[in-house]
Structure 1
């Protein structure tokens, strides 16, 4: 009798644990999708910020800046300002929730140092490339940056010998086909100025984020997601303003004086309020990306975040095209199809649809 009761208790405990795990996993999927939506909103607002105010003059036909400054320095400055304000939101959140002391302590730990390295790869390098991509090529190049999920899976296989199942390989293939469709549709007809550069920058962003996700997998397993994003955005801000921008200024020939002038002008321009919004969504998207990774696995978390390949062009079209009535943000049907195809490939790569329907994950 005691054995029956004992077995019954064990069975109930197992069922309760499975139910809890399933609920936690499903919540992780919702968090991951939310990270993709907020990344799309970040993209739309940072694009809006660089379309108006002083940025419109800098990027205009009669720009007072050199070709080097327009092509590279402005995009890096936009990323730096966005991440500066994102770091503000992240640190403010840590202060409000009593996590600031943990943030300071974590920076000195091994996982914290790994996160700093991942941040340098994913923020100043990939983040700058992403902003340069959408400024140069427009929303059409955003889905190309979404290849970071496929690249992350490949890098995980190469660096950490992680297994790639036939399903994952099939999903990667779908993503690359979608990217090729976007490339062909973007280059059909008259090639817009900067389109080639935009696509190249988008691939660099994809590689950087894929590498970041691979490296940060270890770090985020032991770091609170809200502390992780505070480390990431603080690292990006320091690296951009103290290293990347000064180096670009020296290469351009105007030195640090140009960087100081542009930074002061940008921070005092009305568009900084738009950057404040984009910084908020940047904080939210990376926070939920890290959190989603810890709840449903890094591969699936990256995949769900990768749905920005669809949400990015969508929100750019809604905000810049429909609401603000800017021409040129409409996307061809083939691009919409390719964006959805990439989202499908990301899903297939990370989740067995049959298992997902049953509530599991393979």
Structure 2
């Protein structure tokens, strides 16, 4: 038998700690990348809804669409087009990686059904509210929608009796304070038409995604992340396309909803950007789930919450600077609020004192 010396044990423990630290550091980078992907998803989807046939629908409106149809039907159609493209990406990637069979098997399980329920709220309802908010108020809606971690923490406390301590309540207060910083200018009479409505829909999106994050935490803890994301994206895309869009079409009166859907998917100048948005949306969820599994859900949620900054930034770069579209410059208060929002999200998810304690232990 061989005896292991104390020095060998120390070397082994040091190597193990270094490996764990490197793994966690990589998870943080992946989770941060998910926030960046979310920013590009927002920018590319909005760009697609400004090109080709979409420019006609929102501009000259030669189709004679009502104000209701322009606001709600087109908002749902934009979300449906993006989510359907994202679902196609998810199925393609799952097929390449040999996980299509797992996808269909998981749909029959309780965790799979939980993912479907969460996706029904986060997809058709939250995504459509997010799109409507973007169309009405621009990129200031992004930090508003980033309230979803705070709302998720509140819902988790109400439904699942999870901990909601003083630090987390402080973080929630910071997040809502940041949202008030953004929303306050829209309350005055000088605010552009439709901006307050857009901010309200941003809050609805945050509520829907907060619910989804709260409920899907159960499902993703028991399902492979790639399979779970495929379930989420397919459910969201199909429910948007075959439920919400037709419902808004019927509510809009004499509208050829099928014709609008067909034009959205066949318009060459816009669909390419929806395809890009779909890939970015897939990446946002994929890297979020993967980052969570590597650095922990709390820290992963915080890193993903940086989309409150990346969303306006990517819209400004892609829409404002690259394509020269007006209305995508970011007011200073929105930049400041985005940073405050990130601080609030980190405060909810992580005790800053723990970072110093771990550093001292190392």
TM-score computed with the length of structure 1 as normaliser = 0.93
CA distance in 1, matches of 2:119, 2:183: 28
Q: 1:161 to 1:11 in 2, by over 3 A?
A: farther
The alignment's C-alpha RMSD in Å is 2.2
Q: 1:110 to 1:6 in 2, by over 3 A?
A: farther
Aligned to 2:26: 27
SS of residue in 1 equivalent to 2:47: helix
Aligned ranges for residues 1-362 of structure 1 at < 5 Å?
5=4, 15-60=14-59, 62=61, 64-188=64-188, 190-254=190-254, 258-269=256-267, 270-357=269-356
**CA drift at 1:335:** 1.1
Gap regions ≥5 residues in structure 2 = none
User: Contact 2:31 / 2:304 at 8 angstroms: preserved in 1?
Assistant: yes
**CA drift at 1:326:** 1.6
User: Contact 2:123 / 2:236 at 8 angstroms: preserved in 1?
Assistant: yes
CA distance in 1, matches of 2:210, 2:119: 12
CA distance in 1, matches of 2:272, 2:356: 43
- Can you list the C-alpha shifts for 1:241-291, whole angstroms capped at 9, x where unaligned? 21111111112223xx62101011111112000101000100100111122
**CA drift at 1:11:** 6.2
CA distance in 2, matches of 1:173, 1:192: 27
**CA drift at 1:299:** 3.0
CA distance in 2, matches of 1:28, 1:358: 20
**CA drift at 1:354:** 3.7
CA distance in 2, matches of 1:323, 1:238: 32
**CA drift at 1:62:** 4.1
User: Contact 1:133 / 1:141 at 8 angstroms: preserved in 2?
Assistant: yes
SS of residue in 2 equivalent to 1:326: coil
CA distance in 1, matches of 2:263, 2:313: 30
- Can you list the C-alpha shifts for 1:79-126, whole angstroms capped at 9, x where unaligned? 111011101111111111111111111111111111111111111111
CA distance in 1, matches of 2:29, 2:303: 9
Q: Count matched residues.
A: 358
**CA drift at 1:185:** 2.9
- Can you list the C-alpha shifts for 1:3-27, whole angstroms capped at 9, x where unaligned? x848777766655544443333222
User: Contact 2:23 / 2:294 at 8 angstroms: preserved in 1?
Assistant: yes
CA distance in 2, matches of 1:8, 1:108: 52
User: Contact 2:112 / 2:219 at 8 angstroms: preserved in 1?
Assistant: yes
User: Contact 1:133 / 1:197 at 8 angstroms: preserved in 2?
Assistant: yes
SS of residue in 2 equivalent to 1:209: helix
Gap regions ≥5 residues in structure 1 = none
- Can you list the C-alpha shifts for 1:178-217, whole angstroms capped at 9, x where unaligned? 0000001344562212212211111111011111111111
CA distance in 1, matches of 2:324, 2:90: 32
SS of residue in 2 equivalent to 1:138: helix
